[in-house]
Structures are given as C-alpha cells and as structure tokens.
Amino acid sequence: ILHLATHGFLLPETIRGVSRFSFLGLITDSTGASGRVLLRNPMQRSGVALAGAQVTLNAWQRGEIPPTGNDGILTAEEVSGLKLRGTWLVVLAACDTGIGELRFGEGVMGLRRGFVQAGAQNLLMTLWPVFDISSGEFMLDFYTAVQKTGNAPDALASVQRDWLVRLREKHGLSAAVVLGGPFILSSQGQFQGL
C-alpha cells in the first residue's frame, strides 16, 4: 500500500508567466506578448506536492527555475515511470487527484493514467477538494473496511454508503455529498503472474 496525504493539482492548459513553468517544456503563444504559456501535455499539468514543493514554488515566484529532479513536485508523467507493479493499493488523499484532461481515443490523462501505467492495481482518488479532518476520518474507516474485506472496491462502496447515510441524517444531503462523495476507486483487477 502506498498512501500519499498531500496536495493534488491539475493546472490549466494556458498559464500566465513563462519563466515559472518553462521547466515543463512549455511553448509560448504565437504572439508571445501576453506572457501566457501553453502546457500541452496534461501528464505534466497534473500531480501532487511532496516535501520540498514550497521551495520550488518560492523559486518560481522569484522567476527562478530549480532543477526538476528533486523539486517536490511529482507529476503524472513522472509517476508513469515509477515501478509500482505489485502495488495492491495507492491512496491519493489529496484534492482533485482523480481529475484530468479528456483526450479522445486515450481517455482521461492525469494522475490516474500515471499510476496505472506505473503498475498500481487499485487507486483511490478524489474528484474535488477534500477537508483534512473529514478526509482523515474517512481514510480510517476505509482502511478498517479494507482490512476486514481484503477488497478495496467493496470497502470503498461500504464506507461511502455508511458515510452518505450518516451525514445526510446529521447535516443534510449537500454536506453528505461534499464530505463522503469525492472518493473514487479505479481497479485494474487481479494481476496475473505476480
């Protein structure tokens, strides 16, 4: 099991400020006058922040471009190169980790694609921002259910069902959906030949 409790992101395709994002192999717009850059590869626009990310963000604010090898930013493209075959479960307890960009004929490009290419069997992600406290409580319930069932998709379905019922009774439908609904699980099924 690989569990990342951090900050997730999906940058828009067009961003102001060439110097901040030139480490991604960006292309400026045709005029170059607007100071906007085009981030064509959605696998470079999606990722999570790790230790050292704030140092990188501060450098970008100063117009500097630090080396990308250990910058604290883990992009979906970098994830796809990891060796995660045999990793039964990856949990991305962070905002927006299940979103990406739709590419016709290729599906949704983002962190999900990266972790699947890396070999993860089950991937728990979020479709919108999550709150630290409720997300932590949800994860405790999820891991308890996983230990009982040994089945990540069934565990998520059970915990979400319980959370949605309990939160709806206590706080109403909107709060139940916001707090219990952002989690999705992508499963690649059982790996053969492990």
Q: Tens digits of per-residue pLDDT, 129-158? A: 999 999 999 999 999 999 999 999 999 999
Cβ-Cβ contacts under 8 Å for 67 (sequence gap 6 or more): none
pLDDT the model gives residue 37: 53
How far is 184 from 126, CA to CA, in rounded Å? 6
pLDDT the model gives residue 20: 43
pLDDT the model gives residue 29: 42
- Give residue for tokens 């499963």: 187
pLDDT the model gives residue 15: 60
pLDDT the model gives residue 16: 59
How far is 135 from 182, CA to CA, in rounded Å? 10
Name 101's bridge partners. Answer: 109
Chunk the chain into consecutive blocks of 10 residues (it has 194) and report each block's average pLDDT, rounded to whole numbers.
95 62 42 54 93 87 82 95 97 95 90 97 96 95 97 97 97 95 92 46
pLDDT the model gives residue 5: 95
- Give residue for tokens 């999550």: 130
Q: 39 exposed, middle or buried (CB, 10 Å; 0-12, 13-18, 19+)?
A: middle
pLDDT the model gives residue 56: 86
How far is 154 from 145, CA to CA, in rounded Å? 8
Q: What are phi and psi of 48, to 5 degrees?
A: -135, 155
pLDDT the model gives residue 66: 82
How far is 111 from 92, CA to CA, in rounded Å? 9
pLDDT the model gives residue 22: 46
Where exactly are the structural domains of the chain? 2-15+32-129+183-187
